[in-house]
Amino acid sequence: MQRPKVAFVTPGSFPIPSAGSSSVERVIEKMAPLVAGQAEARIYGRSGAGLGAVGQIGGVRCERFPARDKAVYLRCVSRAIRLFRPDLIEVENRPGYALKMKRSHPDARIWINLHSSSFIGPKAISRDRLKRSFAAAEKIIVNSEFLRDTVEGRVPEAAHKLRVVHIGVDTARFLSRWEPEGAARREALRLARGWQDRDVLLFMGRIIPLKGVHHLLRVMPDIIALHPNVLLAVVGSPFYGSHRTTRYSRALQALGKRYPRHIRFIPYVPYPEVPSWFLAADAAVVPSGAREAFGLVNVEAMASGIPVVASRAGGMREIIVDGETGYLADPARLEQELCDRLLTLLRDAELRERMGRAGRERVEQRYTWEATAQRWLEVLAEALSVTIRFFLPRMNA
């Protein structure tokens, strides 16, 4: 059979490519080129400064439209899709878009790819509209077993449509500190940042309550008292691609100023710079709340060869093997267990190496973009009742 045509419809929040986009756009930017050998893929997204109306993402055509008004954006995307005439339209993380696509393209298969639970809650979409959106979809892709259970709990009748496709990391860009290239790069980074003799903890992400940074800041005085050589680097801002602050982020910075030698806030950094922060650290901390569907930072840290201490919550329970690639802290005793587990790691370099190496191995086995693309193609083969042979290209550095 001919290669099926697949249209990936992004939310219109950020352009592709963009150093300041969310993980939703990043997933499509990384995965679409890898499935293009088996499907004729096309990406539809937001226009951006310096980007043409039509471009190429890893050899995949990307068509861009103004997205200030979402209704206008969807109409533009829908007209463009009509010219492409895809067999499958996959809507990214906006289930309500599925209704528009189904009305405009009744002969196409409609999939919804949910990257989080943010847009299936009552504040984002009514229950009736959510149910109708799921009814319009043939498949609903989720990135974790946790998110599958969450979706099934809200719309039980959609359970048979749910398929888990874990997302991944580019292991060519996220170097392991235990390999020669990564070790050399790490040494240069730590020298440039003045971290040569420090034991560095890293929080990387948005500075919002869901991410739990306040729990980490609360336990830092005890950690500093018992391990004076510690340094916590908090990298991120409340908003993607912005240095804007909020009352919450300013309150955290005020706490950090009490310990200027031990706590440093680094505003939002562009995504191409993210690997260098993991590589230069000794352990990552991910104290997120219960709604964290996956937590891409977990696999990015593990790819870099550093252990992760995270909440035993959401999709993180599927990624981190407690006691092998890091530690999972009980949400009911989160701050006490964060303190205890971090001190254990800070005091034991051999343990950090053992866990770091195990984490990198787990990523290579389960959480590469190639694995993501292969699993997605398996779902496609299931939907089309065909056999797809997997010849996935390795990603470029």
**How many percent of the chain have pLDDT more than 70?**
97
Q: Is the per-residue pLDDT at 114 higher than 50?
A: yes
Residue 79: CB atoms within 10 A of its CB come to 11
Segment (H or E) for 164:
strand 162-164
Paired residues of 233 in beta bridges: 202, 264
pLDDT of residue 165: 97
Q: What is the mean pLDDT of residues 347-372?
A: 98
Average predicted confidence (pLDDT) for the chain:
94
What type of residue sits at position 223? Answer: I
Q: What is the mean pLDDT of residues 111-135?
A: 96
pLDDT tens string 203-236: 999 999 999 999 999 999 999 999 999 999 999 9
Q: What is the pTM of this model?
A: 0.92
pLDDT tens string 39-84: 999 999 999 999 999 999 999 999 999 999 999 999 999 999 999 9
pLDDT of residue 195: 97
Burial bucket for residue 257 (CB in 10 Å: 0-12, 13-18, 19+):
exposed
129: CB partners within 8 A, 6+ apart = 96, 99
pLDDT of residue 239: 86
Q: Which two tokens stand for residue 112?
A: 């919804």
Structural domains of the chain sorted by starting position, each given as residue range(s) with its CATH number in brackets: 5-168+368-384 (3.40.50.2000), 180-366 (3.40.50.2000)
> DSSP state, 125?
S
pLDDT of residue 386: 64
Confidence bin at 21 (pLDDT 50/70/90): confident
Strand 40-46 versus strand 5-9 pairing type:
parallel
Q: Is the per-residue pLDDT at 394 higher than 70?
A: no
